Amino acid sequence: MNAPHHLSYDYSPWTFWTSASDVEREAQHEYQKVFAERAGVTIGERAFLSPLASVDPDALSIGADSFIAAHAYVTGTITIGNDCTVNAFTVVRGNVTMGSGVRIGAHTSILGFNHSMDPSEPVFKQPLTSKGIQLGDDVWIGSNVVVLDGVTVGSHAVLAAGAVVTKDVPEWSIVGGNPARRIRDRRETASAGPSGAGESAFDDELLARLAAFADAARADAPAILSRNWTSAAGGSYVDRPGTAPTVRAHCDAVEIADLLLGCAPLELSREEHISRLQNLQDPLTGLVPELGFDPQGSDGGLRFGSGPATYHVLSVGYAVDLLGSRFLYPVHAVAEMDPAGLVASLEALPWRQEAWESGAWVDAWGTAACWNLAQRHPNSPGSVEAMFGWLLTHVNPGAGTWGTPTADTRLKVVNGYYRLTRGTFAQFGLPVPNVERLVDTVLEHSKDPRYFAPGRQNACNVLDVVHPLWLASKQTMHRRDEVNAWAATQLKQALAWWHPGEGIAFSAAPESGSQHLPTLQGTEMWLAIIWYLADLLCSAEALGYRPRGVHRPEAAFQLPTL
């Protein structure tokens, strides 16, 4: 049975009873009635069960003002107190009891059962065991936490994002890491946010603003895409009305539609989008030139590392991937580069003067290698290994970056770091080196008022800080309070920049001219930036979307392991 209601309630269920219509409320009551008819099920006043959640318990008691959000998986014998939230994509299984005021972040697993492991029998033939999990009152569990069977978490404790909790957690303790260890007593710095857990994952005002922003973006998405579609010459996308069509504009349209609408842009069929983008690829080099490119022009043809074709390795490759297809041809310009040639190219890049340009080259090379591997087209043997080997042996150990950050070069070094790691370590799911020194460098840069004061930000500069900090947060909690404070400040400003029916401008600075006008590029980038800022604060589930293209948080290709 599906209870009709606005989709945002599934991801922000705490907003339901204050804003739902009478019809929506009645539908939720009817939906709960089905559960209440089952033996061993009790549901408190103003509780909310998302119809998109998989709730199939042996017994369930859920208290007043408690919520189970979309795609949660709840089985076993579950007792939930009052004022609790089980956020989206969370797993609660086995014998689990939680007190009142418990908040559980997205993608967390509370596993109140285990397998027997007698070596005389395969695991799958052995019975399950269950010691159970006890969560006290006022417990905050961040995103991507795992709590194992037999654990008791004391009241007022905080489990930091990504923690793997294998032992009991005393009252008031903040724990984090794998395995989780005690960081401090929550009462020691009551005015500061919990280290590693992000700004309050149950900050109702912030979560409501995120949900409202995403609702507005989804409602406006068809108009934005239509606004930037021109019917001339068979139809094409422009970055903003009045400008020339570009390849990137088409790719940004695909990304926005996938993110907000879950489909291809409606101006063409999915098959037509795929055909148009695939047929732009040059079969000899595997590169994608800009629209109107003249192969006989003075630049001598398509070359990897120069012009828009280099970025199109990212934008077109991911757009086609989002549409469910791939490039027609390998990126020969990269596949045919042997380790010696690759190392020579890396050595020749202007790391000291142009760290961003150098990082962008590496980003495109790594992405091209990724697409070749996904097509089962071999790159030159040893070239991917040579890339990572060179990077690991040339990173600046004192800064965690490639290039030396000074007052004059820090912007390009940090921005180049984002491009480089996006296409290599992040894209292949590998940890970044010297992570704590990286956090120091990026936080120093994030204080520069020229780029991050209110009304001075642009999409590149904010993305190139938040993504490295987000990557680092998967490996360390170093200076996490400062990371969270910066993310919260930038997020609250960015949420105010949406132009109804138009999207977001690339730059917040009025003096930036045309960059201060809403564009497809600005909209696509800021949607991803807002997700990363919110995810650092353990609040991204309120948006109800997750990047899957150029700015996807998951690896695009996993290298084989021994």
* Alpha-carbon gap, residue 528 to 541, rounded angstroms: 13
* Alpha-carbon gap, residue 378 to 370, rounded angstroms: 10
Strands 504-505 and 518-519, by their bridges, are antiparallel
Burial-class residue 562 by CB neighbours within 10 Å (0-12, 13-18, 19+). exposed
Phi, psi of 357 (to 5 degrees): -60, -40
Q: In 227-332, where do the E strands start and end?
A: 229-230, 236-237
* Structure tokens that stand for 230 in this block: 């021109």
Say which of 6, 115, 156, 250 is annotated catalytic: 115
478 φψ region: left (φ > 0), alpha (ψ -120 to 50), beta (else): beta
Among 126, 130, 102, CA closest to 116 = 126
Strand arrangement, sheet containing 48-49 = 48-49, 67-68, 85-86, 103-104, 140-141, 158-159, 173-176, 181-185
Q: Are 32 and 49 in contact (CB under 8 A)?
A: yes
Burial-class residue 561 by CB neighbours within 10 Å (0-12, 13-18, 19+). exposed
The label of the residue with tokens 């460098």 reads 441
Sign of CA dihedral 465, 466, 471, 474: positive
Sign of CA dihedral 319, 321, 324, 329: positive
* Alpha-carbon gap, residue 269 to 275, rounded angstroms: 10
Q: In 81-195, where do the E strands start and end?
A: 85-86, 91-98, 103-104, 109-112, 114-115, 128-129, 133-135, 140-141, 146-147, 152-153, 158-159, 164-165, 173-176, 181-185
Q: How many helices (H) does the chain have, and how many strands (E)?
A: 17, 23
115 catalytic, yes or no?
Answer: yes
Among 292, 332, 294, CA closest to 313 = 332
* Alpha-carbon gap, residue 229 to 237, rounded angstroms: 5
* Active site positions, annotated: 115
